[in-house]
Amino acid sequence: MMDRLIARTVRQRRPLSVHIDLTYRCNERCVHCYLDHRDYGELTTPEILGVLEDLAAAGTLFLTFSGGEIFLRPDLFEILGAARRLHFDVSLKTNALLVTAERAARLRELGVRRVQISIYSDDPAIHDAVTKVRGSLERSLAAIPLLQAQGLHVKIACPLMTENLSSFRGVLALAERLGVAYIFDMTITPMIDGDASTLAHRASGTQLLPILRDPVLRSCRPQPGDAPPLPSGVGSAVSSGIESDAYDDLPCSAGHNSCYVSPYGDVYACVQLPVSAGNLRRECFAEIWSGAPALERVRAIRESQLPVCSACSIRKYCERCPGLAFMEGGDLLGAYERACELAEQNARIAGVPNPVSALHAQQGTERRPVPAEMPLDAMVTI
Amino acid sequence: MNAVAPTLWQRNPVLAWREIDGEAVIISPGESVMHELNGTGSFVWELLDGRHTPAQIAALLSAEYEVSSETALRDTESLLQELASLRLILQAGVNAGLAGVPADR
């Protein structure tokens, strides 16, 4: 049913899923965060309510409110009330530091379906070192039973970086113990203004290999050859596009049936593709969505026509993202090192002998040998 | 003999839904289940505002889709029964157990 809905909305170019960051302000200071937390003039309450009306009229069903930290918006519940009246399916992304029993009950009353909470480790020292807020793990975890008691679906999102790789199994166990879904995200991006300092926290493909090989994650994913050959417990914790096979030759949902709105009203194809297609303070959503050149450029991308990647022999193991291709290589259509590195690791795990991406083949890069002191079999567990 | 007032039905206010290409897509948050109604089902869905009786809905359905009034009433009642069993609709005026949920539009 979902695939059919996706196919129809792509064909009709309906913005089925929209991600709105209500603020970039935050009460944590995560070391890897790509946002500038200052407030440069967020959309006001009436402006946001107007945007919601426009999105409902455009056919949006799935709405994700994120940030920054959404609970720093004093009008959050007013916004959620408006979303409820307009019949959106609402998901939230939060660090949950400000969730109380009363607020959790209010979320249920307002029909919120899912709450995604950022958790970096089961070890307070590691989690709190990432967020730079002492006691933050304890407070975030305390929110989970409050939300569950209200019948809300809770998901733990764990971006993986050099600081918390050792916590991978602990977070898995934590999710199991709490009875919540989880997603591990290996994507650490440059900051939204292009500053690449956050990349210092990015784990290498070799460092991530034990996670890519993890039997728990691999047990919930189809084998290579089936689509998608990627673990369901691994993906983007940031993007709110809908993953599906129904996109065929399209790289993803961005600009086809999903988009992103910044706290300042800028419309992007995706949060991971920060090129403004227009601003909702100057134009209505329908005008931007129907033909902004920045969206049309994204819509024109076809996987089969990518200059380098279309000829790649390990393409099906790759998580190439047009936004990251643009942010990391400056080219929406280009190949980029990070995707190639992870695709080669995924292919190697799947048993492909000596996998080399098209980009590396062009560069004449030979497969980097796995160091002798770290044989693959020994890297299954951390 | 007193006539029994017909049951009035309204969409469960906790649901998320959108009409897409003439077909209603409905999501119940508790179960995270997606339902889809075809064109005639969606026509009925739009009228489930707690004010239309099943007979009135059937009459409008009959006029819109040029089916007999008997067929329209039978199909409407069958659909209402199914939607009610899934708790996608509730009897109008009956507490949905969702204090604070804004009134449906």
Instruction: Tell me the pLDDT tens digit for each residue of A36-80.
Output: 999 999 999 999 999 999 999 999 999 999 999 999 999 999 999
Q: Which residues of A touch B36 (CB under 8 A)?
A: 1, 5
Minimum Cα–Cα distance from B36: chain A residue: A1
Average pLDDT (B67-95) is: 92
Give the percent of chain A with pLDDT over 90.
72
Q: Is the alpha carbon torsion for A60, A66, A71, A74 positive or negative?
A: negative
Question: Which pLDDT does position A224 carry in this prediction?
Answer: 35
* Confidence band for A142, pLDDT divided at 50, 70 and 90: very high
Judge: B20–A8 Cβ closer than 8 Å, yes or no: yes
Chain A nearest CA to B31, separation (Å)? 9
Tens of pLDDT, residues A163-189: 999 999 999 999 999 999 999 998 898
Average pLDDT (A314-318) is: 92
User: How far apart are the C-alpha atoms of A360 and A336, rounded to whole Å?
Assistant: 10
User: How far apart are the C-alpha atoms of A63 and A90, rounded to whole Å?
Assistant: 5
The pair of three-digit structure tokens given for residue A309, joined into one six-digit string: 């990647």
For the beta sheet containing A112-118, the strands, ordered from the edge strand earlier in sequence to the opposite edge, are A181-185, A153-159, A112-118, A89-94, A62-66, A17-21, A258-261, A266-268, A278-279
Lowest-pLDDT choice from A71-75, A352-356, B98-102: B98-102
Chain A nearest CA to B22, separation (Å)? 11
Interface test with chain A among B10, B25, B38, by most A beta carbons within 10 Å: B25
Question: Which pLDDT does position A234 carry in this prediction?
Answer: 65
Lowest-pLDDT choice from A25-29, B1-5, B40-44: B1-5
Hey, is the C-beta of B16 within 8 angstroms of any chain A C-beta? yes
The pair of three-digit structure tokens given for residue A98, joined into one six-digit string: 């400000």
Model pTM score: 0.88
**Inter-chain contacts counted by CB atoms under 8 A, chains A and B:** 64
The answer to whether A337 touches A328, Cβ cutoff 8 Å, is yes
Q: Nearest to residue A139, comparing CAs of A97, A102, A100?
A: A97
Chain B nearest CA to A233, separation (Å)? 18
Compute CA distances A277 → A35, A62, A118, A229, A233, whole Å.
19, 20, 29, 32, 31
The pair of three-digit structure tokens given for residue A174, joined into one six-digit string: 């934590």
Hey, is the C-beta of B93 within 8 angstroms of any chain A C-beta? no
Of B13, B25, B105, the CB nearest to A5: B25
Q: Which residues of A touch B98 (CB under 8 A)?
A: 109, 111
Question: Which pLDDT does position A103 carry in this prediction?
Answer: 98
A40 burial via Cβ count (<10 Å: 0-12, 13-18, 19+) = exposed
CB proximity under 8 Å: B 33-62 to A: 34, 36
Tens of pLDDT, residues B52-66: 999 999 999 999 998
